[in-house]
Structure 1
Amino acid sequence: MSWAGKILRVNLTAGTVSSEPLNMEWARAYLGSRGLATKYLVSEIDPKVDPLAPENKIIWATGPLTGTMASTGGRYTVVTKGPLTGAIACSNSGGYWGAELKFSGWDMVIFEGKSAKPVYLSIEDDKAELRDASHLWGKSVWQTEEIIKKQHQDPLTRVSSIGLAGENGVLYAAVVNDLHRAAGRSGVGAVMGSKNLKAIAVRGTKGVGNVANPKEFMKVTFEKKKILADNAVTGQGLPTYGTQVLMNVINEIGASPTRNHRDVQFEGAKDISAEAMATPRKTDGKKPLVTNQACFGCTIACGRIQKIDQSHFSVENKPQYWGASGGLEYEAAWALGNANGVNDLDALQYANVLCNEQGMDPISFGATIGAVMELYEMGVLTKEQLGTDAPFGSARALVHFAEMTAQGVGFGKEIGLGSARLTAKYGHPDLSMSVKGQEFPAYDSRGIQGMGLAYATSNRGACHLRGYTVASEVLGIPVKTDPLVAEGKPELVKAFQDATAAFDSAGICIFTSFAWGLADVQPQVAAACGEEFTLEKLNEIGERVWNMERDFNNQAGFTAKDDTLPKRLLTEPAKTGPAKGLVNKLPEMLPQYYEVRGWDAGGQLKPETRARLGL
C-alpha cells in the first residue's frame, strides 16, 4: 500500500500537533491528494463557513504515487474553502515539497483554528512542532525559504509558504514552494495568512517503502515513462518550449482572449511566445530563456528559467532581479500579456517574478488588470485613482500594478480583491471575465466551445485544469473534435473532468495526460496500492470526487444560476479568426451536461447518482 498511513492534525488555536491514522476506507474510495483531502474537508467543516474564519480548515495532501518513481510523482494539493469564490478550493503544486512530506512519513497535514501569533510548522520525519514565525512575517516567499533553511542548517529542507499577498489577504494569494512552484489558484494563500500560518518546513528521510508490488511497479513505471518520452507533446514540445508552446497556436485559431476578452486574437502574441523567449534580444544579444527545469521525478521538464534584460525599465536599479528566476508559463504570459494588450516580454517576466516572490496567482492578477484597463479606457477609473495612466498595452501600468498589489499599497489593495468584486464596486460587474468569482485562463470559449462548458461547470470557478478539452478540440488528444461546435461537448467535458480528478488524486501531474490515458495510470496505481484499483474503479473515483465537490458547493449556496459565463462571451460574437461571428453555445450544452452527470434540472445530484457513488 503506497500510502504512509498517517496524517498530522494541527490545531493552531491550541498550538497542538497530533498524529492520527489515515482513514483507509476513505483512501480506497477517494485515492489521495485532491480526492481524499476534499473528503476530509467536507466531512469536517460547515459548507457555509466564512473562508477566512478560524472555523475553516486548510489541508496539504499527497497522493499514493507522490514520492514514488512514477513519472511526475511530486505533486501535492492544498484544499480549503476558497475566499475568492466561496466554493471548494483545491490547488495543485509540483516542485519537491510533496515528495518530501511523503518521505517524512505523512500523507497529509490538516490545519484548524487560528494562531494568536505568526507560526510555522516544522516537520522532521516523526517530529512535528509549531515554531514562532514573528521574524518571518512581512518577508517574501524567497526570504522565508532562505531563513528557514539557514535556521534548520539543512539546505534540503523543503518549504511551502506565503509572501506578502497571503499576509495582506489578496483573495488570489498563492502558496509557493521551491521558490517558484505554486498552489496558485483560488486564494489558498489568503486562508493560510488568515490563520497566521507563514510556512511548513519539511525534511523527510524515510522514503516510500511500502509499495504493494515493487517489481511490477518498477516494470510498469519504466514502460509508462517511455510513452511520455516518445510522445510529441511530452517528449518534445513541453521540454523544448514549455507550456508557452501554445501561445502562437491558440492565437492562430482565434481563441486567445485579448484586452479583457474584447478580442480573440492578439497582434503582439509572437513577441511574448515560446519562440520569442528562445530568441536573442536586440538590446543585449542574450536569450530570455536560460534553461528548462523539472519537478521531482518528472521526465517532461516543462518548467522555464528566465532572465530579464538588466537595462529594462522594470529592473534598471534593482540588481536583486537580475539573476535567473522562474520563467513564464503560458497561462501567466497570457494573463499578464494578451489580457492587457501588453507585448513587452521583460515586463511580463518582471510581473511574473513578483507574483512568485510575494505569492500571487498571475492568472487572476493579470485578468483583473484587464478589467482595470477597460474601466480606465471607459473613464470609470482615473489616473489619480490608479497612480498612473493605464490604457490597454501599457507595460509601465502593468509593472506599476504588480508592485502595488504585491506590496498591498494604494490601488493595489483593490486589485487584490479580484475582478468580480472590483468591477461590481465600480458599477460594471459584466466586465469581470470570471466564473463563480475566479478569472478565466488563456482560452476563449467562443473559439473553443467545450472550454466554455468546462469553465461554467468547474467546481473551483473558471479553470483549465479541471477539464482541459483543449487537448481534444485543438491538439486532437485522445481524439480530434471540432472546437466550433457544441455537439458532443457535454460528454467530452464530463470525461475530461472525471479523468482529471483521478490523475490529481493519484499524485501525478496532469501534463502526463497528453500522452497517458487512465489506462496508463491504472497499472501504476494497482502496483503501488493493490490490485483492487481496476480501470473501472479509477473512473468511478474520478466521478465520485467531482460529484462530492459539486455537492459541497450546492450546500454552500451555489445553484444552477452560477453555472454561467460572462455576458460578453454569450452575446458578443468573436470579431476575427475561425470563430468569427460565434458566441459560446452554453445554453445549448448545459442541460445535456446535467443529464449526462446524473443531476436534476437545478444542478443537484439525483438520489440514484448519490447512491451509485456512495455519497
Structure 2
Amino acid sequence: MSWAGKILRVNLTEGTVKSEPLKMEWTRDYLGSRGLATKYFVEEVDAKVDPLSADNKIIWATGPLTGTMASTGGRYTVVTKGPLTGAIACSNSGGYWGSELKFAGWDMVIFEGASAKPVYLYIENDKAELRDASHLWGHSVWETEETLKKLHQDPLLRISTIGLAGENQVLFSCIVNDLHRAAGRSGVGAVMGSKNLKAVAVRGTKGVGNVANPKEFMKVTFEKKKILAENAVTGQGLPTYGTQVLMNVINEIGALPTNNHRDIQFDGAKDISAEAMATPRATDGKKHLVTNQACFGCTIACGRISKMDETHFSVKNKPEYWGASGGLEYEAAWALGANNGVNDLEALQYANLLCNEQGMDPISFGATVSAVMELYEMGILTAEHIGTEAPFGSAKALCELAEMTAKGVGFGKELGLGSARLTAKYGHPELSMSVKGQEFPAYDSRGIQGMGLTYATSNRGACHLRSYTVASEVLGIPVKTDPLTAEGKPELVKAFQDATAAFDAAGICIFTSFAWTLADVQPQVAAACGEEFTLEKMNEIGERIWNMERDFNNRAGFTAKDDTLPPRLLTEPAKTGPAKGMVNKLPEMLPKYYEIRGWDTEGRLKSDTRERLGL
C-alpha cells in the first residue's frame, strides 16, 4: 500500500500534537489528498461553520502517488471552508513540500482550534511539535523560509507558510511553499492566519517504500512518462513556454477577458506572452525568462524562473527584487495584465512577486483590481479614495495597489475583501466577475461555452482546474469540440470534473491530463495501492468526491441560485472575435447537467445518487 498509514492531529487551542492511524477503510472510496482530506473534513466540521472561527479546521494532505516515482507525484492539497466563498475550499500545490511530508511518514495533518499566540509546526520524521512563531509573525513568506532553514540548520527543510496577507486575513490569501508554489485559491491562507498558525516545516528521510507491486509500478510509471515526453503539450509546449503559451492562443480565438470582461480580446496580449518573456529586452538585451523549473518528480517542468529589468520603475530602488525568482504563469499574467488592460511585462512580474512574497492569489487580486478600475472609470471610486489614479491600462496603479494589498495598508484593506464584497459595498455587485464569491480565471465563457458551465457549477467557486474544457474546446484534447456551442457540454463538464477529482486524489498534477486519461492513471494507482483500483473504481471515486463536495455546499446554504454567472456574461454579447454577438448559454446547459449528475432541479443530490455513491 502506498499510504504512510498515519496522520497528525494538531489541536492549536490545547497545543497538542498527536499521531493517529489513517482510516484505511476510507482510502478505498476516497483514495487520498483531495478526496480523503475532504472526507475527514465533512465528517468533522459543521457545514455552517464560520470559516475564520476556531471551529473551522484546515487539513494538509498528500495522495498515494505523492512522493513516489510517478511523474508529478509532488502534489499536496489544503482543505478547509473558504472565507472568500463560504464553500468547500480545496487548494492544490506542487513544489517539494508534499513529497517531504510523505517522506516523514505522514499522509495528512489536521489542524483544529486556534492558538492564542503565533506558532509553527515542526515535523522531523516521527517527531512533531508546535513551536513559538512570534519571531516570524509580521514577516514575509520569503523571510520565514530563510529564517526557519537557518534556525534548524537545514537547507533541505520544506516550508508551507503564509505571509502578511494571511496574517491580515486577506480573503484571497494563499499558502506558499518553496518560495513560489502555492495552494492558491479560496483564501486558505486567511484560515491559517485566523488560527495564528504561521508555518508547517517538514523534514523527512524515510522515503516511500511500501508500494503494493514495486516491479509493476516501476514498469508502468516508466511507460506513462514516455507518453508525457512524446506529447506535444507536456513534452514540448509546457516545458518550452509554460502555461503562458496560451496567452496569444486564447486571445486569437476571442476568449481572453479584457478590462473586467468588457472585452474578450486584448491588443497588448503579445507584449505579455510567453514569446515576449523569451525575447531579449530592448533596455538591456537580456531575456525576462531565465529558465524553466520542475516540481518534485515532474518530467514536464512547466514552471518559470524570471529576472526583472532592474531599471523598471517598480524595482529601481528595490534590489531585493533583482534576483531570479518565480515567473509569470498564464493565469497570473492574464489577471494582472489583460484583465486590467496592462501590457507592461515587468509591472506584471513585480505584482506577481509581491503575491508570492506575501501570499496572495494573483487571480483574485488581479480580478479585484479590474473591478476597482471599472468603478474608477465610472466615477464611483476616486483617486482620493483609492490613493492613486486607477484607469484601465495603468501599470503604475497595478503596482501601487499590489503594494497596498500585500502590506494591508490604505485601500489595500478593501482590495483584500475580494471583488464580490468590494463591488457590493459600492453598490455595483454586478461588476464582480465571480461565482460563489471567487473570481474567474483567464477564459471568457462567451468564447468558450463549456467554461461557463464549469465556472457556475464549480464546488470551490469559479475555477478552471476543476473542469478544463479548454483542453477539448480549444486544444482538441482528448477530442475536439466546438467552443461556440452548448451541445454536449454538460456531459463534457461532468466527465472533466469527475476525472480531475480522481487525478487530484491520487496526488499528481492535473497537467498530466493533457497527455493522460484516467486509463493512464489507473494502472499506476493499482500498482501502488492494490489491484482493486480498477478503471471503473477510479471513475466512481472521482464522481463520489464531486458529489461529497456538492453535498457539503448544499448543507452550507448554497442552492441552484448560486450556480450562475454575472449578468455581463449572460446578457452582454461579445464584441469581437469568433464569438461576436454571443452570450454564454448557461440556461440551456444547466438543467441537462443537473439531470446527468443525478441531482434534483434545486441542485441537490437525489436519494438514489446518494445511495449509489455511499454518501
TM-score strictly above 0.5 = yes
- For 2:415, the equivalent position in structure 1 comes to 415
**Match status 1:356 vs 2:350:** no
Give the 3-state SS of the residue equivalent to 1:130 in structure 2: strand
Q: Which amino acid aligns with 1:445?
A: S
Give the 3-state SS of the residue equivalent to 2:26 in structure 1: helix
Report Cα offsets for 1:109-166 as digits up to 9, x if no partner.
0000000000000000000000000000000000000000011111010000000000
Give the 3-state SS of the residue equivalent to 2:46 in structure 1: coil
**Match status 1:162 vs 2:181:** no
Report Cα offsets for 1:474-521 as digits up to 9, x if no partner.
000000000000000000000000000000000000000000000000
Structure-2 separation of matches of 1:507 and 1:516: 15
Q: Which amino acid aligns with 1:152?
A: H
* Superposition pairs of residues 128-277 of structure 1, within 5 angstroms: 128-277=128-277
Q: Which amino acid aligns with 2:315?
A: V
Give the 3-state SS of the residue equivalent to 2:131 in structure 1: strand
- How far has the Cα of 1:306 moved from its partner? 0.4
- For 1:330, the equivalent position in structure 2 comes to 330
Q: Which amino acid aligns with 1:70?
A: A
- For 1:428, the equivalent position in structure 2 comes to 428
Q: Which amino acid aligns with 2:366?
A: G
Q: Which amino acid aligns with 1:341?
A: G
Structure-2 separation of matches of 1:70 and 1:495: 23
Q: Which amino acid aligns with 2:223?
A: E
Structure-1 separation of matches of 2:544 and 2:184: 24
Structure-2 separation of matches of 1:549 and 1:470: 23
Give the 3-state SS of the residue equivalent to 1:18 in structure 2: strand
Report Cα offsets for 1:390-436 as digits up to 9, x if no partner.
00000000000000000000000000000000000000000000000
**Match status 1:2 vs 2:10:** no
Structure-1 separation of matches of 2:108 and 2:454: 29
- TM-score, normalisation: structure 2: 1.00
- For 2:388, the equivalent position in structure 1 comes to 388
Structure-2 separation of matches of 1:323 and 1:130: 33
**Match status 1:447 vs 2:447:** yes
Structure-2 separation of matches of 1:27 and 1:16: 26
Task: Flag structure 1 segments of 5+ consecutive residues without an equivalent.
Answer: none
Structure-2 separation of matches of 1:383 and 1:121: 43
Q: Which amino acid aligns with 1:582?
A: M
Structure-1 separation of matches of 2:317 and 2:146: 23
- For 2:289, the equivalent position in structure 1 comes to 289
Q: Which amino acid aligns with 1:554?
A: N
Give the 3-state SS of the residue equivalent to 1:371 in structure 2: helix
Report Cα offsets for 1:27-78 as digits up to 9, x if no partner.
1110000000000000001000000000000000000000000000000000
Structure-2 separation of matches of 1:152 and 1:158: 11
Give the 3-state SS of the residue equivalent to 1:128 in structure 2: strand
Structure-2 separation of matches of 1:390 and 1:286: 30
Report Cα offsets for 1:252-306 as digits up to 9, x if no partner.
0000000000000000000000000000011111100000000000000000000
Give the 3-state SS of the residue equivalent to 2:160 in structure 1: strand
Q: Which amino acid aligns with 2:55?
A: E
Structure-2 separation of matches of 1:159 and 1:279: 34
Give the 3-state SS of the residue equivalent to 1:98 in structure 2: helix
Structure-2 separation of matches of 1:8 and 1:388: 47
- TM-score, normalisation: structure 1: 1.00
Give the 3-state SS of the residue equivalent to 1:13 in structure 2: coil
Q: Which amino acid aligns with 1:478?
A: P
Structure-1 separation of matches of 2:54 and 2:135: 23
- For 1:68, the equivalent position in structure 2 comes to 68
Q: Which amino acid aligns with 1:180?
A: H
- For 2:524, the equivalent position in structure 1 comes to 524
- For 1:477, the equivalent position in structure 2 comes to 477
Structure-1 separation of matches of 2:131 and 2:551: 37
Q: Which amino acid aligns with 1:475?
A: L
Give the 3-state SS of the residue equivalent to 1:159 in structure 2: strand
- For 2:90, the equivalent position in structure 1 comes to 90
- How far has the Cα of 1:192 moved from its partner? 0.2
* RMSD across aligned positions (CA): 0.2
* Superposition pairs of residues 95-114 of structure 1, within 5 angstroms: 95-114=95-114
Structure-2 separation of matches of 1:424 and 1:284: 45
- For 1:302, the equivalent position in structure 2 comes to 302
- For 1:592, the equivalent position in structure 2 comes to 592
- For 2:571, the equivalent position in structure 1 comes to 571
Report Cα offsets for 1:204-239 as digits up to 9, x if no partner.
000001000000000000000000000000000000
Which consecutive aligned stretches of 4+ in structure 1 deviate over 6 angstroms post-superposition?
A: none
Structure-1 separation of matches of 2:388 and 2:462: 30
Between the aligned residues of both structures, percent identity stands at: 87
- How far has the Cα of 1:347 moved from its partner? 0.1
* Superposition pairs of residues 475-554 of structure 1, within 5 angstroms: 475-554=475-554
Give the 3-state SS of the residue equivalent to 2:120 in structure 1: strand
- How far has the Cα of 1:80 moved from its partner? 0.1
What is the number of residues matched between the two proteins?
Answer: 615
- For 1:371, the equivalent position in structure 2 comes to 371
Give the 3-state SS of the residue equivalent to 1:391 in structure 2: coil
Structure-2 separation of matches of 1:602 and 1:137: 45
Report Cα offsets for 1:320-360 as digits up to 9, x if no partner.
00000100000000000011000000000000000000000
Structure-2 separation of matches of 1:322 and 1:128: 37
Structure-1 separation of matches of 2:545 and 2:354: 34
Structure-1 separation of matches of 2:255 and 2:495: 22
Structure-2 separation of matches of 1:27 and 1:489: 31
Give the 3-state SS of the residue equivalent to 1:402 in structure 2: helix
Report Cα offsets for 1:354-410 as digits up to 9, x if no partner.
000000000000000000000000000000011111000000000000000000000
Task: Flag structure 2 segments of 5+ consecutive residues without an equivalent.
Answer: none
- For 2:614, the equivalent position in structure 1 comes to 614
Report Cα offsets for 1:591-614 as digits up to 9, x if no partner.
000001000000000000000000
- How far has the Cα of 1:99 moved from its partner? 0.1
Q: Which amino acid aligns with 2:294?
A: A
Q: Which amino acid aligns with 1:28?
A: R
Structure-1 separation of matches of 2:215 and 2:147: 41
**Match status 1:582 vs 2:582:** yes
- How far has the Cα of 1:201 moved from its partner? 0.3
Q: Which amino acid aligns with 2:71?
A: S
Structure-2 separation of matches of 1:94 and 1:78: 12
- For 2:36, the equivalent position in structure 1 comes to 36
